[in-house]
Every structure is written in C-alpha cells, then in structure tokens.
C-alpha cells in the first residue's frame, strides 16, 4: 500500500484546526500528523517529522504565514496550501503567499465556517492531494456528481468566425500553479502585444487583487474583466472569480461578456467556456494556451479552437506545477505544440505580429 500523505494544519483558529483536521483525516490516503496554532509550534512539530503538505493560514500571531512560508521555501521547499478568509485584505495577503511559492488557495468565510468547510470537503481533499504530487506524479480529480461541460453556458455552433482580421487575441487557461506561471509570462511581455483574455481558477474576491498585483509588475495593462470590456493590444483581462468570461465580436472589435451561469467542469470561471467562445468569435485570429492546473478544464475547448483554425499550445510537463490540464489537452488532440513556460511569452509576441 502507498504511504498516506502526511498533512500539517497551521491555523490559529481552534475551530478551523478541528474541522480541517477531521475532514482531511477522514479522506482516503491522507493522515493529519498535527494541527497547531502558529508557525513556531509547526517548526517544533516538523523537527520530529516532516509533512508532505502544509495547510497554512496567513494571518496569525507570533509569526505570520508569509514569513513562515518564505523561510520554508528557502530552507526546505514543501507543498503549501494557503487557507485564507474571503476578505479584500486576506486576498492581497494570500496573493503574496502564492507569489512566495504556495501551491493553491482554500478559502474560508468568517461566518458559517463549519458548514462551508464541510460542503467544500471534496475540493479541499483534491487540492491537498494535488499539492502533494506537485511536479511529481499527477493526481486525478476526486469522484463527484456528473460535471457540466461548456454546453451549459454556450451551446456549440456550426457558424465559423471571420477568417481574417487585424485583431489578434490570446486566450489562456490555468489553475493550480497558475498564479506564479502567469506572472512569469505576463511580466515578459512588451507594452504592445496581442490582447489577452485569461481564466485563472481562483475564488471570488481574489481575482481583483491578483489582477492589480500583476498590473503593478507588468509593462502591459492587467485588469479584472468587466462586462463589455474591449480586448485591446497590450491589455490582459482576468476573468472574475465566480463569473464566466466569454469572447464576443462586436463589429471590428473583440469584447468580453462577464456572466453568471452554472459551474462548468466544476469551475466558474471555466476555461472551456472561454475557449469555446474564442473558437466561435475569433477562429484563426486566436492563440489558445493551456497552462499548469489540475483536472481537464480547457481540454475540450482548446480542441475546438484548433478545429476552428486557431494556433494552440500547452505548457510542458517539466515546467508545470501540476501537469493535469495540459496533459488532458494533449491527449485529446487539442495541442499543436508543448513548450516550456519561459517560451510562451515569445509565442504570444509572435502571434501579435502576424497581421
């Protein structure tokens, strides 16, 4: 039998420690080696046994989670899942943690915590399992009720996009590990490049802070998308958490629709929804890229983009934190080329020059 994944929970809330610890301990293949109130206690526990994954709060007394994370990554890199409250302040702090090397986010509300965490148990367990295998062997999504595909938001269409325009669009989809990967790609882009539309699987409230952080680092403009925003050269639009984002042609321009809708592939926003809309609206004027992430969201949509004449690419296995989404896109035949993370910005630049 495989050894269970050893998980250490670090959170100053006794309720969180109790509920998270119980949910993780009840899952097959996971074992909670400890649940402690702060990083100093965690370091004492880790002298005895080292965890495979740490579930870490960010706002704690004695030592905050960011300081602990940076110390950890400098001395002995270990998969860390951030457990953060759904607040604007918490979102900014959590993004700092992701930038420092955390793998993923688990959100927790200030009210109704026990019920929320219980309802989110499958996602929590899947995230911890994926973190344990980051850059090693990949994990499959947990069993769950049947998932909806992009038909639930945008039905298939036989209508093809205009064959040639002067506008170029890049559609990107990513999940686990994507916050760091997107920073690598977007900061390497020049001020003038093709317009980008991006789905990063991320909870509500986090995407605005994420976009603002990238905007402060990049030569291009990065913003959380709003309904009817125009896709412009040198601009990247990030789909808001909790909403789907679709591309639409309006005259000679491309704009985005930001809409409600059901979960697609258990996500909202969904990469498949964005990619299908890009296939319909842009055709050969688009470049589709699927990057690091768990599961298969984006695989079907990328194939539709390729069939509509778009160029399609995937981040290669060696540079992915989790090679789930790109692997499935390759398996289904939607990927024209797989490239290292550092090569993607060059391809985006090249796509924008092909008028």
Question: How far is the first Cα of the chain from the last one, in angstroms, to the nearest whole number?
Answer: 57
E strands in 115-219: 169-174, 195-200
Question: For 259-289, what is each residue's pLDDT tens digit?
Answer: 999 999 989 999 999 999 999 999 999 999 9
Least confident of 20-34, 77-91, 212-226: 77-91
Query: φ, ψ for residue 30 (rounded to 5)?
Result: -115, 145
DSSP H or E run through 69 = helix 65-75
Q: What percentage of residues in the chain have a pLDDT greater than 70? A: 89
Of the pLDDT bands very low, low, confident and very high (cuts 50, 70, 90), residue 214 is very high
- Asked whether the predicted pLDDT for residue 66 surpasses 70, the reply is yes
Q: In Å, how far are 10, 145, 319 from 90, measured between CA atoms?
A: 16, 31, 28
* 267 SS3 class: strand
Q: What is the DSSP letter of 150?
A: G
What are the E-state strand segments in 113-209?
169-174, 195-200
Q: Judge contact between 5 and 29, C-beta under 8 A.
A: yes
Three-state DSSP class for residue 127: helix
CA distance 190 to 182: 14
- Range in 99-113, 121-135, 172-186 with the lowest mean pLDDT: 99-113
Q: How many CB atoms lie within 10 A of CB 15?
A: 12
Q: Assess whether 175 carries a catalytic annotation.
A: yes
Active-site residue identified among 52, 201, 229, 277: 201
pLDDT value at residue 258:
97
Instruction: Give 166's contacts (C-beta < 8 A, 6+ positions apart).
Output: 355
Q: How far is residue 46's CA from residue 331's CA, in Å, rounded to a whole number?
A: 40
pLDDT at 46 over 90: yes
Report the predicted TM-score, pTM, of the whole model to 2 decimal places: 0.82
- Which of 52, 96, 296, 297 is catalytic? The answer is 297
pLDDT at 119: 77
Compute the mean pLDDT over every residue in the chain, rounded to the nearest whole number.
88
Instruction: Enumerate domains of the chain plus CATH numbers.
Output: 5-132 (3.40.50.2300), 163-353 (3.40.50.180)
User: Is residue 130 within 8 Å of 104, Cβ to Cβ?
Assistant: yes
Q: Is 298 left (phi over 0), alpha (psi -120 to 50) or beta?
A: left
Distances (CA, A) of 168 to 193, 283, 291: 9, 10, 20
Active site residue: 11, 52, 96, 175, which one? Answer: 175
**pLDDT tens digits, 115-131:** 877 777 888 898 999 89
Q: Is 84 a catalytic residue?
A: no
Compute the half-sphere exposure of residue 319: CA atoms within 13 Å on the CB side of its CA: 18
Cα distance between residue 290 and residue 318, in whole Å: 14
């Amino acid at each position: 039998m495989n050894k269970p994944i050893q998980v250490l929970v670090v959170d100053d809330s006794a309720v969180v420690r109790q509920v998270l610890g119980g949910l993780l301990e009840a899952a097959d293949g996971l074992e909670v080696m400890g649940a402690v109130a702060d990083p100093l206690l965690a370091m004492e526990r880790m002298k005895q046994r080292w965890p495979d994954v740490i579930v870490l709060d960010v706002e704690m007394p004695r030592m905050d989670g960011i300081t602990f994370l940076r110390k950890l990554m400098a001395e002995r890199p270990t998969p860390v899942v951030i457990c953060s409250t759904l607040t604007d302040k918490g979102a900014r702090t959590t993004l700092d943690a992701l930038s420092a090397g955390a793998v993923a986010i688990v959100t927790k509300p200030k009210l109704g915590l026990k019920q929320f965490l219980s309802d989110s148990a499958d996602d929590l367990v899947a995230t911890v399992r994926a973190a344990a295998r980051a850059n090693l062997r990949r994990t499959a999504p947990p069993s769950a009720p049947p998932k909806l595909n992009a038909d639930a938001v945008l039905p298939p269409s036989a209508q093809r996009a205009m064959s040639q325009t002067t506008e170029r669009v890049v559609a990107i989809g990513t999940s686990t590990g994507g916050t760091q990967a997107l920073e690598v790609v977007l900061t390497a882009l020049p001020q003038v490049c093709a317009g980008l539309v991006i789905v990063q699987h991320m909870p509500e409230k986090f995407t605005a802070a994420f976009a603002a952080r990238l905007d402060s680092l990049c030569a291009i403009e990065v913003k959380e998308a709003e309904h009817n925003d125009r896709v412009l050269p040198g601009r990247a639009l990030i789909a808001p958490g909790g909403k789907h984002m679709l591309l639409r042609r309006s005259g000679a321009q491309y704009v985005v629709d930001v809409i409600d809708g059901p979960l697609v592939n258990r996500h909202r926003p969904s990469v498949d929804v964005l990619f299908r809309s890009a296939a319909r609206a842009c055709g050969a004027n688009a470049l589709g890229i699927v990057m690091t992430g768990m599961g298969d969201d984006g695989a079907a949509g990328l194939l539709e983009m390729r069939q509509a004449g778009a160029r399609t690419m995937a981040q290669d296995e060696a540079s992915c934190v989790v090679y789930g989404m790109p692997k499935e896109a390759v398996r289904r035949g939607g990927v024209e080329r797989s490239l290292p993370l550092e090569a993607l910005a060059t391809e985006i630049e090249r796509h924008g020059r092909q008028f």
